[in-house]
A = this chain, B = another copy of it.
Amino acid sequence: MLDDLFSPASIAIIGASRDENKIGNVILRNLVSSGFSGRIYPVNPSYPEIMDLKCYPSVKDIGDPTTIAVIVLPARVVPQTVEDCISAGVKFLIIISGGFAETGPEGKKLSERILSLVRTSGTRLIGPNTVGLYLPYSNINTTLTSYSRVSFPPPGNIGFISQSGALGLLTMDAISEYGIGISAFINLGNRLDVDETEFLDFFETDSRTGSVAIYMESVADGRAFYERIRRFNSRKPLVILKAGRTAQSAMAASLHTGAMASNDSIFDGMLSQAGSVRAYDETELIDYARVLAYSKLMTGNRITVLTTAGGVGVISTDYISDSRGLKPLQMARLSENTKDQIRKVIVPYGSAENPIDLTADGSVSDYDRVLEILMRDDDVDAVLVYALPQTPKMDMGVVDVVEKHMKSGKPIVVGVLGYKIAKQLLVEFERRKIPAYPSVHRSVKSLGALYGYSAYRRVRQ
């Protein structure tokens, strides 16, 4: 259904502008900058051309049934434009304009008019009130925010659907710092026509998408949504950040997008029945989507921690054994045989007990040998490895070591604290699709998310 949206032959920008302060200018510039290889049609009766592209007075003048039309016009003229697009054979409309259901009765009428036009045609609609789409594999950026203000992430494995445009743009900007990639970013806006479920259909079979992250404030049809995400989770993991959990925030959400939020405890039960991992904020959303996109499943919840800094091991043990996480994890009890083997690798004042402490003497080759031992111990389900740059013996070779064992053995999550060298390590782990996090808590919580989804899949299969 949505396949053409992801590989369009042509895109029209209706309301394209030469004025750099106008959104119609930013969107056209973004689309050109993103390197889209299809045809681009600016539409605006005031100009003969914009940015060296021929400009059309109306979508009807293009004379080519464009795949996507992005509409950036005042709300009151949008219904007529939608009619024009439908008669010109446009397949997908992306309505950036606001001023619809979210603004009151007048806007609601405009919404209803547009919906009835779309529903009686073959044309599909994303928005209105959306910041646009960013599809890195197709080199398409129709968002309204300039590259000078936010970074857009590279192609990757997370499908990202957001009901809030700004939150989506800011999250993409934040993850770009570490080179974390996405397969697509979709801002649904007011969800008048296309909603999450149809994008889930696409992501479920899209080979480049390993997991999906959704930010939402309300569900249109609870039952249908439940069935859809349950089916999705049986194939791929889905992380949901559903905001508006309390009475006060639900009210704020309804003011924000004009849709009423549902009872949170019902929603929470629904997510867990359907096998979705729940995130509570923008950081958790992408943290969990990453570990779920990059890792194989865990067969149990017994974690071994491997560190060169004793304190980091102790804090990790706190979080693993205090059950404040999503799903209860526990510290693995290493067998005597395992501990004996580890003692042969580490210095005498290190610790072969879990958390394993290599101390500042731990070299990358020690990591390799200890991981080898842990991969063979049946009482260990996953390893939390700390790559900590304060010791002279730590170097980028640790990434190769972790990659090797992660490929052949059990799930590994990596914690990297610090900045100067830590940042390079985080970027390199990410490049190899190894889930790595810049804090103890984020590392442990991500293991919890992986275990939560793994446990669901184990029961279901």
A399 at the interface (CB under 8 A from B): no
Which residues of chain A (346-382) have a CB below 8 Å from chain B? 348-349, 351, 353-355, 357, 360
| A328-352 with Cβ < 8 A to chain B | 331, 348-349, 351
- Assess whether A396 is interfacial by the CB under 8 Å rule: no
Q: Does A273 contact B (CB under 8 A)?
A: no
> Is A401 an interface position by the 8 A CB rule?
no
Interface residue A243 (Cβ < 8 Å from any Cβ of B): yes
> How does the 8 Å CB contact mask read for A309-340 relative to B, with 1 for contact and 0 for none?
11111110111011000000001000000000
Each complex incorporates copies of this chain amounting to 2
> In the complex, how many residues of chain A place their beta carbon closer than 8 angstroms to a beta carbon of chain B?
81
Q: Does A297 contact B (CB under 8 A)?
A: no
Please indicate the chain B residues that have their CB under 8 angstroms from the CB of A436 in the complex.
none
A448 interface contact, C-beta 8 A: no
Mask: chain A, 220-250; 1 = CB below 8 Å from B; 0 = not: 0000000000000000000001011111110
Stretch at the interface among A56-64, A66-74, A280-288: A280-288
A308 touches B166 (CB 8 A): yes
Closest Cβ neighbor of A284 among chain B residues: B441
Whether B249 contacts A314 by the Cβ 8 Å rule is yes
Question: Which residues of B have CB within 8 Å of A47?
Answer: none
Are B280 and A441 in touch, CB under 8 angstroms? yes
* A251 interface neighbour in B215, B353, B388, Cβ under 8 Å: B353
Please give, as numbers and ranges, the residues of chain B lying within 8 Å of A162 by CB-CB distance: 311
B-side contacts of A348, CB under 8 Å: 103
What is the chain B residue whose CB lies nearest that of A21?
Answer: B392
The answer to the question of A89 belonging to the interface, with a C-beta cut-off of 8 Å to chain B, is no
Contact flags (1/0) for A291-320 with B, using CB distance below 8 Å? 000000000000000001111111101110
Query: Is the beta-carbon distance between A255 and B418 smaller than 8 angstroms?
Result: no
Q: Are B177 and A252 touching (Cβ within 8 A)? A: no
Query: Which of B241, B252, B313 is close to A252, meaning CB atoms less than 8 Å apart?
Result: B313
* B residues less than 8 Å from A81 (CB atoms): none
Residue among A176, A319, A418 facing the most chain B CB atoms (10 A cut-off): A418
Does A115 lie at the interface of the complex (its beta carbon under 8 Å from any beta carbon of B)? no
- Distance in Å: Cβ of A260 to nearest Cβ of chain B: 13
For residues 133 through 181 of chain A, which have their beta carbon under 8 Å from a beta carbon of chain B? 145-146, 148-151, 162-164, 166-167, 169-171, 173-174, 176-177
Query: What is the CA–CA distance of A313 and B174 in the complex, to the nearest angstrom?
Result: 18
Interface-located stretch among A28-36, A38-46, A192-200, A419-427 = A419-427
Q: Which residues of B contact A171 (CB under 8 A)?
A: 417
Q: Which of B170, B217, B280 contacts A418 (CB 8 A)?
A: B170
CB distance from A174 to the nearest CB of B (A): 5
Given contacts A439-B283, A440-B282, contact A256 B164 (CB under 8 A): no
Q: Please judge, given known A-B contacts A217-B314, A246-B321, A357-B255, whether A309 and B389 are in contact too, CB under 8 Å.
A: no
**Complex interface: chain B residues within 8 A of A417 (CB):** 167, 170-171, 173-174, 282
Residues on B with beta carbons closer than 8 Å to the beta carbon of A360: 166
Smallest CB-CB separation from A100: which chain B residue? B349
Chain B CB within 8 A of A98 CB: yes
Q: Mark A74-111, 1 if CB is under 8 A from B, else 0.
A: 00000000000000000000000011001100000000
Contact of A390 among B169, B249, B281 (CB under 8 A): B169
Compute how far the CA of A283 lies from the CA of B247 in the bound complex, rounded to whole angstroms: 30
Contact A419 B349 (CB under 8 A): no
Could you say which residues of chain B place their CB within 8 Å of the CB of A355?
Answer: 252
Contact of A151 among B176, B243, B357, B420 (CB under 8 A): B420
For A418, what are the chain B residues with a Cβ–Cβ distance below 8 Å? 150, 169-170, 173-174
Partner of A146, one of B99, B145, B392: B392
Check if A281 sits within 8 Å of B311, measured CB to CB. Answer: no
With A164-B309, A173-B419, A309-B170 in contact, do A249 and B349 touch (Cβ < 8 Å)? no
Chain B residue at minimal CB-CB distance from A357: B256
**Does chain B have a CB within 8 A of A130?**
no
Q: How far is the CB of A85 from chain B (nearest CB, A)?
A: 25
A283–B420 CB distance below 8 A:
no
Interface pairs A-B: 7 shortest CB-CB = A164-B311, A166-B309, A256-B310, A249-B317, A167-B311, A173-B418, A170-B417
A-B contacts besides A166-B311, A281-B315, 11 pairs, CB < 8 Å: A98-B349, A166-B309, A170-B418, A173-B420, A174-B438, A176-B420, A215-B311, A241-B315, A252-B353, A256-B313, A281-B441
